[in-house]
Amino acid sequence: MYELNEEKDPAVLGPFELLAVLGQGGMGRTYLGRRLSLENLGPELETGYHLTEVRESAQPELAAVKVIKPSKLRDSSEHSEEEVRARFAQEIETMRTVAGARVPALLGADADAGQPWLAMDYVHGPTLHKLIHTCGALDVGPYGALGLALVDALRTIHGAKLLHRDLKPGNIALGPDGPVVLDFGLAVLTERDSAAALTKTGVGFGTPSYMSLEQARDTKHVSESADIYSLGAVLFFAAAKRPPYPLAPMVTAPKWDGVYAPYLPLLGRILVQVEVQRPSLDEIESDLRQLLADHGLTEEAAADQLGALVTGSGLIPDLPARALLDLADPEIQQAAQQAVDEGGAPDSPWAPDLFDEFLDAEAQNLEPLDENAEAGPHPAGYVPTVVDPGAQPAPSAAAPVPAQPPVTSYRIASPQPPAEPEPVAAPPVAVRAAERLRKAYAHTGRL
């Protein structure tokens, strides 16, 4: 988590105050934000922002606000700005159809903004990728709890007639209520012959180390079984601290060295390259429950063990003091409300066109959102795609692997605000904006 750069980062996007930078991926940047309490927003903005109802909560409701880099809307590749925006709009619709404890809820979005953004629940905790690399392979309790949570997540996603297609350790956050599956940037309607499908046949999207062979050949024409394979690859990583294949899926069985023997039957059944031989989510759930029972564990005890592991890992990031306060920055709140009262957008006082320019500069060394260094050439974030022009030939062949067999939520203590947070003195909005513009132009060499 990084402080906002006043020369490059806006203070507000849509009706969300931005508090910190969470990271960046190949297609954009993600901020920690909080929804501003605004009156008289009007039906047009309410509808345009896809805003959900504000939920009652003892803690401030925080959001992860994802933004597409302006350069990705104006690049010279085969993908036009309209196609990138269409992909982004589809992600918004995707998020709106998926609701469950294991996927973050959509809080708001604007695909038509000069700088398109999407806000979803912020999950306060480390990724599975970080946890395993720091703490090592999971014991039976945390392993079973993780597996059952991922089964719940995929059941929710598939129940909405969607596929995830990029399930991997870097897309799984371990939050206060257990594992949550992130990033629907690669989701695709399972109604694959729909004229609205935006994924090009014959193109592989996703992360090679965690994808099935059929997905590596042709991402569009895959089934729910491809996500089940990725679930198995994630569980393999949780058991071995490495993906089943270092670079891409292979027809040969993975090396099982170092994997706890009771995990092998289930992993062997999932990590096969023949789709129809993989177990269903119900079968995986049954095997995971049996694994826990064989070790004298209930699902609740397993979830508690995973929660304790996360809490003791030292990986839960510290929230900025502003995020722990009940109210927004008074100046930001006032400027946003004034803009709305005058018939503008809440973020209009913050010169979005100028910030577009700054976000185009990629000189800032931020930790990528996708922490899988082994992920290969496929970028994290949003993938601009085009209308399917028809089937294309696919790459190499497939064959099976061996065998058979193998919760959910937990609580992390809510972060407490500092004993006496120091008040942040800020100049009036107009003075601060003028100072930012002066620095900005100095930064770009225009003065």
Q: Do residues 144 and 230 share a domain?
A: yes
Q: Do residues 169 and 308 share a domain?
A: yes
Contact predicate 410/306, CB 8 Å? yes
Task: Flag whether 362 is in a domain.
Answer: yes
Q: Do residues 169 and 215 share a domain?
A: yes
Measure the CA–CA gap between 348 and 256, rounded to whole angstroms: 56
Task: Using the CB atoms, write b or e for 208-225: b if 16+ within 10 Å.
Answer: bbbbbbbbbbbbbbbbbb
Contact predicate 223/190, CB 8 Å? yes
What confidence tens digit (pLDDT) does each residue in 244-255 have? 998 888 888 899
Q: Is the pLDDT of residue 9 over 80?
A: yes
Task: Give the end of a domain, one of 267, 293, 312.
Answer: 312
Task: Flag whether 379 is in a domain.
Answer: no
Q: Do residues 286 and 307 share a domain?
A: yes
CATH of the domain at 253: 1.10.510.10
Q: What range does the domain containing 67 cover?
A: 12-124+318-368+415-444
Q: What are phi and psi of 262, to 5 degrees?
A: -65, -15
What confidence tens digit (pLDDT) does each residue in 272-316 have? 999 999 999 999 999 999 999 999 999 999 999 999 999 999 999
Token code pair at residue 31: 């901020």
Q: Do residues 211 and 194 share a domain?
A: yes
| Catalytic center residues | 166
Task: Flag whether 142 is in a domain.
Answer: yes
CATH of the domain at 354: 3.30.200.20
Task: Flag whether 376 is in a domain.
Answer: no
Q: Is the pLDDT of residue 356 over 60?
A: no
Task: Flag whether 409 is in a domain.
Answer: no
Q: What angle do CA 172, 232, 267 make, to 5 degrees?
A: 140
For the chain, the domain total comes to 2
Percent of the chain at pLDDT exceeding 90: 41
**Binning pLDDT at 50, 70 and 90, where does residue 62 land?**
very high
Q: What angle do CA 310, 302, 143 make, to 5 degrees?
A: 70
Q: Do residues 154 and 275 share a domain?
A: yes
Task: Flag whether 374 is in a domain.
Answer: no
Task: Flag whether 392 is in a domain.
Answer: no
Q: What is the pLDDT of residue 199?
A: 47
Q: Is the pLDDT of residue 228 over 90?
A: yes
Q: Is the pLDDT of residue 224 over 60?
A: yes
Q: Do residues 161 and 281 share a domain?
A: yes
Is the pLDDT higher at 379 or at 222?
A: 222
Token code pair at residue 277: 């031989």
Task: Give the end of a domain, one of 312, 328, 356.
Answer: 312
Q: Is the pLDDT of residue 430 over 60?
A: no
Q: What is the pLDDT of residue 53?
A: 75
Q: Do residues 277 and 239 share a domain?
A: yes
Give the dihedral of Cα atoms 46, 51, 56, 60; nearest 10 deg. Answer: -110
Q: Do residues 281 and 341 share a domain?
A: no
The pLDDT mean for the chain works out to 76
Residue in 388, 379, 412 with CA at minimum distance from that of residue 196? 388
For residue 53, CA distances in Å to 9, 22, 37, 148, 215 come to 27, 24, 11, 29, 37
Alpha helices in 264-313 (DSSP H): 264-270, 281-294, 299-312
Q: Do residues 286 and 196 share a domain?
A: yes
Measure the CA–CA gap between 94 and 383, rounded to whole angstroms: 14
Q: Do residues 266 and 323 share a domain?
A: no
Task: Flag whether 139 is in a domain.
Answer: yes
Alpha helices in 61-122 (DSSP H): 70-73, 81-97
Residue in 417, 366, 323, 322 with CA at minimum distance from that of residue 122? 323
Q: Is the pLDDT of residue 45 over 90?
A: no
Q: What is the pLDDT of residue 148?
A: 98
Task: Give the end of a domain, one of 312, 335, 360.
Answer: 312
Q: Do residues 95 and 207 share a domain?
A: no
